[in-house]
Every structure is written in structure tokens, then in C-alpha cells.
Chains A and B, each alone.
Chain A
Amino acid sequence: MSELEKQDLRSDEDLFRSWLKGDSQSFEDLLKRYQGRLYKVIFGWTRNQQLSQDLFQETWFRVIEHKKDFDPKRKFSSWVFQIALNLTRDHWRKEKRAQTDPDSERIELSASETNLEQALIEREQMERLKNALSGLSRIESEVFMLRHFGEMSFQQIAEALGVNLNTALSRMHQACSKLKKLAGEN
């Protein structure tokens, strides 16, 4: 078994502990594991690329800053998504006060999207999904994104949100029902 494969078998908690002991590479491995999951969750909540980048960065800054606060009895994923959720909720509170439109940002076309027609179709699809997500309440969005992209179990989500398992499942069901309608699946 190669060293890379051995590392892949290490749990998130092992990697985090290894970083605490001074191994920088473990932190980088952990960040790689979460970059897709965590960023997508935050993007799904905010529907704003720049804001998502900022919140993603701030989440990891908090992890780094409060590394000694990590409870080894908890799962690392629950802790990191909880931090991201708290930061996003803080943003929502500020946003509510400022009354800004979270969907004001348009998705920029990437340089590789040379085919204008294709780019427009993709943009339209993304806009449709963003609109569908904007139709969810925040509590529905929280559960949907944490389960679908965060890959947290419903039990973990329930614990993170401080609700029981049935409530988490009900919110997810409501979210999926709305998305089916809003995304035009029905």
C-alpha cells in the first residue's frame, strides 16, 4: 500500500490531530478533503461566489485560530460545518439589517466557456438552480446543503442544528419537494 493510500485511510480527526502535533501536510490534506464539500455548501446557502470564498476562508481561519477548542469526541466534519453555518447565519443577520439582495451577483462566464451558446445554457441552468435554492427557507436550505454537499448524516445535521432527527428529515423533505417544483422536475 502506498503512502498516499495510507494517508487516505486516515480519518479527518487523525489528520487534525496530526496537524496539532506539527505536521503541516496533514492540514493541507484535510483542506483538500473539504474544499469541494464545504465550498459547495456555503455557495448553496449564499448563492454568491465572492461571499462564499470569504466565508470559506473565514471558516478555516476560525478552525486554525480555535484549534484547541476542538472536542475530540465530536466529528471534525460536524465542527467545521457548524463554524461555517454560524458564520453564514451571522452574515444573514447583517444582510437582513442591510437589506441587500443575495442574488444580485451574476455568474461570470469562465474563460474556458468559449462556446457562447453553451455558456448561456449553462448559465441559465445555474440561474435556475439558484432561483430554486432561493425558494427554500433558510432552515430548509441548511439541511439540504449539509446533507447533499456536506455529506453529513441526518443524525449529524440534527445535532448540529439542535433539532431531533424527524425535524431534520421533515425539513429535507420540504426542501426536496420545493426544489422539484422550482427546478421544473415535475
Chain B
Amino acid sequence: MSHQNFEHKLLQYFYAELSEKDRAEFEAHLAGCEECRKELNSLNAISIEFNREFDKAQVETEVWERILEAAEAKTNKGLLSYLWPRPLVARMAVSLALAALLIFVVRAGIERWSYRHSMNLTSWPLASQIGLLEQDLSMNGASSNGTAAAEGLEEEDNWGIAILSSGLEPSDDAIDSLDEDLGEVEEISGGIFEL
């Protein structure tokens, strides 16, 4: 092996690049070669000094942040990334927005339920009135037209409006019966009566 080969092997040995077999061979040579041992010690001393001094060299925080920002801007984002972005501030903003949306939905649901619930309570008398009306019409032997109209009578809302939804015109007897049972009944338009 030439001297240059040993110089190269020494470098590869120092940086742990030799195969196990080559390392064993070089260590055998090293044991008998003072020049190579001296060379290795010098290399080690340089390495220690450079490592110590260069350990102080650090990337500035601003540089670090600029690189991460650039990477973030070029990152292929999936839907989840948009919904749950990485910076903590953005995540907090998304969390607050989701919480606000949840509160809004829950409140709207409660209000709607309360409204419907109160509707049912206030419209109960009207429903019972309609039931009575149906009963009256059948008991009084109202015309088939009126009976059909009563069967199609529906509660619309709690503002006192009844609709004969079948679209059939009630007979005069049926309207009289409504007047008797429910007081003033005024036809607003065809088949729709204000109670």
C-alpha cells in the first residue's frame, strides 16, 4: 500500500468510513506506525478546536422564521389544514369561531323548540274547536259538501285562522254551524275562515 493510500485511509478511518475489514487492517498498521498515529492526533486536535468554535455559530431566529413562513406558504394543504391550521393563534381563532357557531346553533334550536312548544299550547283550544266543529257538522246532518269540508279543516296557526284545505266550498248550514259553535266566523277567502 502506498503512502498516499495510508493518508486517505487515515482520513476515512477518522471519519468512520472504512468497512470493518479495512478498519481492522488500518488499526494493525496504526499500531506499528508512529507517523500515522501523530497524524491522527493532529487531526483530532484540529477537529476539537473547530467543533468548539463553530458550535457558537447559529442561525438567527428571524432567518429561521422567514424560512418556515416560506415553507408554510408552499405547503400543499389538505382540507384539514385549512380547518385546523398550524400556528397556535390561528388554531385558537378557529376554535373560537367553531365554539361561537355551536352556541348559535344550540340557541337557535332551543328558541325554535320553545316557539313550537308555545304554539302547541296556545293552539290547543283551536284544535279542540275544530274537533267540535267536525262533531257538530256530522251530528247536525250537514250537507255532504259541508262534512267533506269539515274533514279537510286544518289548524293553520294560533292566530285564529282555519283553512278548509280540501278546497271544497262548505254549505251555508256548515257555516251557520261554525257561527254557533265558534262565534263570529268570517270567510277571508275561499275556504279560509277567521275564527
Contacts and interface: CB of A to CB of B under 8 A. Distances in A.
Interface of A: 19-25, 27-28, 31, 35-36, 39-40, 43-44, 49, 52-53, 56-57, 60-61, 64-65, 67, 110, 122, 125-126, 129, 147-149, 153-154, 166, 169-170, 172-173, 176, 179-180, 183, 185-186
B78 interface: yes
B189 interface: no
B72 A185 contact: no
Contacts of B54: 40, 43-44, 149
A57 B57 contact: no
A11 to B, nearest CB: 18
Contacts of A23: 75
B46 A176 contact: yes
A150 to B, nearest CB: 11
A150 B66 CA distance: 22
Given A60-B67, A154-B17, 14 more contacts: A19-B75, A24-B68, A24-B86, A25-B86, A27-B68, A31-B71, A43-B54, A53-B59, A61-B67, A126-B56, A148-B47, A169-B11, A170-B4, A186-B42
Contacts of B63: 53, 56-57
Nearest to A27: B71
A169 B15 contact: no
Contacts of A24: 68, 71-72, 75, 81, 86
Looking at chain A's contact residues, the main secondary structure is helix
A21 B76 contact: yes
16 contacts: A22-B76, A24-B72, A27-B75, A31-B67, A36-B58, A56-B59, A57-B63, A65-B74, A110-B56, A122-B56, A154-B12, A169-B11, A173-B7, A173-B8, A173-B11, A185-B45
Interface residues of B, number: 36
Nearest to B66: A57
Nearest to B14: A176
Contacts of A154: 11-12, 15, 17
Contacts of A183: 46, 49
Contacts of B11: 154, 169, 172-173, 176
Pick from B17, B45, B56, B75 the residue with the most CB of A within 10 Å. B75
B57 A169 contact: no
A97 to B, nearest CB: 26
Nearest to A113: B56
